[in-house]
Structure 1
Amino acid sequence: MTVPVYLDHNATTSLAPGVLDVMTRYLAEDFGNPSSSHLYSHAPRDAVNTARLQLAGLLGAQPEQIVFTGSGSEANTLAINGIVAGRTGQVIIQATEHPAVLETCKALTARGIRVTILPVDEYGLVDPADLAASLSDDTLLVSVMHANNETGTIQPIAELAALTHAAGALFHTDAAQTAGKLPFTVDELGVDLLTVAAHKFGGPKGAGALYLRDNVQVSPVIRGGGQERGLRSGTENVAGIAGLGAAAVFAEKHVAAQQVQCTALRDELHQLLQHAFGRRLHLNGHPYLRLPNTLNVSIDGINGADLLAVCPSVAASTGSACHDGSISSPVLAAMNLSAGRAASAIRFSVGRTTTRDDVTLAAHAIIQAAQHIQAK
């Protein structure tokens, strides 16, 4: 069986070089509990502290500002529920957030929290003026993701954070799709809280982190033995955390080069498809304020799910999994795409391991699959 070309790096990535070796040590040799009082705890505890320093280096933060979690979704939940706990007021998000944010905020409404959802334009961008108009004296938190996982659209986080701070509220961003893909620091973004997911940038699944600016107080979501300064109890996933740290080191070293590489491959794929389909091909997302690796397109008259189903040689994702024309993606719906265009959407996301041959093979396979569907 031919291995398909993998163009789904926004869903997950393979481990970066060296990460597996680091993880294996803490699964086998240095397997102790970091919270134990004997010798077996020393190496695991050191590994967690080292990873905290390594991730802080990637983010331009201090190690004591990093709290490890079990995933990016958990970090989002800790950020939002941790700020809101025991308080009343308003939380502001935007319409194309990750479900971890959307569903957490949906649950907040049952607790009396007023949740305001900002609209986005046809590119998926939030208008800072809409945020300014929505802020109020009782706004507790604004949460806007750094870049969208489906379209790659990058939000003006620094501007949105500045508006939020001027109103006396805190700002959180879900940076799961940008950490390790874009060079930035938490100070450049101006955020108070920031979410990271290890498996999006060459680390393992089941490991995430939340950056907390100094003096930002959050209530724990998981209580217990008091690990992670009492903010996230539970025995640490030492191997996963160590892998996250190793991936952060690799990403910090290579992020600029990978940004250039991915942009070139993304644009080459776009050009090949554009040449084949002409005006029938539509870009979903911002033309340049977009992740360097992400290409979300629709082909007129071709259902995205149907296309991928007859194209097993390409591993990609569809923005709409429904065959009846309904829009299953809240991201595409929020951008006011037509039902047909949303149903046709396919997301290609290249990555560190993608080659020009991969892009060429994928483009030809997609073109042939579309021709096959049209012939039928």
Structure 2
Amino acid sequence: MFHLILTACLAGPSAPCVPILLPQGDAASGPACMQGAARISKDWLDRHSELVAAGTECVPTENLPALDLQQVAPGVFAFFGRPVQLEDSTDGRIANLGVVIGQDSVAVIDTGVSRMQGQQFYTAIRRLTPKPVSHVILTHMHPDHVLGTSVFQEAGAQVLGHHALPLALQMRAGGYLENIARLLPPEEVLGTEIVLPDATVQDSLRIDLGGRSLLLRAEQTAHTDNDLTAFDDTTGTLFSGDLIFRELTPIIDGSLTGWMDWIAAPPQPEPRVIVPGHGDVAREWRQATSPQADFLKALADVTRSQIDAGAPLSEAVGIIVNNLNYMNKNWNSFPASVARDATAAYKELEWE
């Protein structure tokens, strides 16, 4: 397969340029790919007026950079990000991403931190199969999981998310784009944009990929208020998004007690393969969730003790962090993350 690559640059001397993969130009041959290059490139640039064209070419799949996908079950693949916080990463590629291949089409679970990562994810899938990507499943709002979506939407995929995801993304869109522009090189983030879901999941939704289906569940408020899980019936593989953290310190953007309740009630049937939002794959529920459950319980216990003692938030956070410091060796990016969690926990639990 050949892919249309538009070289797009910021205006001005010595401005950075990036290769933009435009999936509408995919074709079996180079000449066929180039036939629509001018129109497709112009349409894309019309929507991205901050960029100007510096040429187009058609490149075979094998000559493009691609993410490293690992098979975790038959027909199920994952990219494993480096389990640290964005601030501790040079490229922002910290989240795990998933692929499920059916007889007719492909589903993608999360898309990465930038258009560039989304493009390299798309190329990796094309190295596996020519089947169309029919669905993109966004597990929650955080930028390391959702900012590569535009590539797949342009390829014709339907974007799905929790019913609370559109509002969550709309409220945070500007901040997310500003933050990745500050943290990551311009070559990584040019062309990146927020994409809202085409359809949302109120409770549950089953999607058919041909010969296998995925069950999507809109979960209770836990890591965020817009967590969505995806379960592959064929292999028993659960993509949990950030409802499960491994190695990277869990972050509360939803409800501490809701998250503890979710962990305590394993989904049925219990998954045989668990791909967390961060960290290594697990093969059993307890293996996947016990360290996180221990951390959240300890956080809740020490936070409640400070509230009961009458400590104000300004004093309690430092005490909570110090009391949990013994867990530092078990989690990456711990000090800053646990301070954020202590603040969230205090604000929630003081109203119990």
TM-score normalised by length of structure 1? 0.30
Higher relative contact order (CA 8 A, sep 6+): 1
Answer 1 or 2: which has greater strand percent: 2
TM-score normalised by length of structure 2? 0.32
Answer 1 or 2: which has greater helix percent: 1
